[in-house]
Structures are given as C-alpha cells and as structure tokens.
Amino acid sequence: MYNSYELNESVRRALDLYSQSMIKIAFAYLKNIADAEEVTQEVFLAYLQKRPVFENSEHEKAWLIRTTINKSKNMLKTGWFKSRNPVPEDLSYLPKEENEVLQAVLSLDKKYRIPIHLHYYEGYSIQEIAVIMQAKAATVGTWLARGRSLLKDKIGGLENEEICL
C-alpha cells in the first residue's frame, strides 16, 4: 500500500517515464493524438485508484501498456467513437519517409499494427509481446510476419528484418 505522498511520487514518476510510450501505443490503436492522450489519462486514473503493487519497473510498464491497450479497445467499441468521422491526424510535419511508414503501419489492421508497434518502437520480444497481449508467442509471431508482409507490399523492405524469438 502507498501513502498519499508515495502515491503522488509514484504517479509523477510513471508519468515522466511512461506517458509518452502509452500515448504512442494508444495512438497506434486510435490513430488520434487527442484520444490517445485521453486514454492515457484514464490509465493513470486507474493507476491512482487501484494502486497496484509492482515487482519492478518493467512490471509497472507492462501493466501500464496492457491497461492502455485495454482502454483503447474499450474506446474503439464505444458508440460515440464508432459514429464519429474524425479528421485524420495531420502528420505532415513529419519527414516524408517517416510519414509514409507511419501511415502504412496505421493502415494495417490493429491486430498487426500493435505487435509491430511494440516490437519496432518499444523493442519488446515476441515473448514479451505475447505476455502483454495475453496471446501465444506463436500467434504474435504470425501477426508480426503478416504485418511485415503487408507493409512490404505497401512500402517495400522488411525481408531482411529479424524478429528475436
């Protein structure tokens, strides 16, 4: 259990360390920065209310990512989210190559783009992704392979990529 001071410090530290990662994961799901930030705030609210106890910082990060994924899924399911027709996020400020790659990943089905994001951005292995996504490692491997294959069709490359197993 935390006292309020420890809790405040713990939240502030988690905000500093993990908020950007969480926003990016939520963005990979929702394709919108405002929604991603909202989801991230909800995750921190859950963190504050549930006050989970972690074994180490990796455990803490994994919990935050898992919760971000869950809350992003929940947001995708909501009626208001489905019914709206949002303006696509303006990514024109990114260099051309980065913009193309990012748009290509975002155009993938979410079951492919989340493992790709966790692997290419967060650097997680297939086993780690499997734990976070509560899926079998083989399934994650398949998602990654298919995702890469789809990306290859869109932007080329990837054939020499290695995924650590």
| Contact residues: other proteins, CB under 8 A | 4, 7-8, 11-12, 15-16, 19-20, 23-24, 27, 33, 36-37, 40-41, 44-45, 48-49, 91, 93-95, 97-99, 101-102, 104-105, 116-117, 120-121, 148, 151, 155, 157-158, 161
Look at the chain and count its residues.
165
CA–CA–CA angle 64, 57, 39 (5° rounding): 15
Residue with tokens 């549930």: 50
> Which is nearer to other proteins, 27 or 143 (by Cβ)?
27
Residue position matching structure tokens 């909800």 = 42
Give whichever of 136 and 157 is closer to other proteins, judged by the CB atom. 157
Looking at the Cβ atoms of 48 and 135, the one nearer to other proteins is: 48
Q: What is the DSSP string of 41-91?
A: HHHHHHHHHH----SSHHHHHHHHHHHHHHHHHHHHHSHHHHH--PPPP--
Q: Give the span between the Cα atoms of 24 and 117, in whole angstroms.
A: 9
Query: Residue 136 or 153: which CB sits closer to other proteins?
Result: 153
For the bound state, the minimum distance from the C-beta of residue 34 to other proteins, rounded and expressed in Å, comes to 8
Nearest distance, CB of residue 93 and other proteins, angstroms? 7
* Token pair 């079998």 in the structure block, residue: 136
Q: How far apart are CA 94 and CA 90, in angstroms?
A: 9
The C-alpha atoms of residue 155 and residue 106 are separated, in whole angstroms, by 13
C-beta of 19: minimal distance to other proteins in Å?
6
Comparison of 27 and 133: residue with beta carbon closer to other proteins: 27
Taking the complex as a whole, the smallest distance from the CB of residue 150 to other proteins amounts, in Å, to 11
What's the min distance (Å) between Cβ of 98 and other proteins? Answer: 4
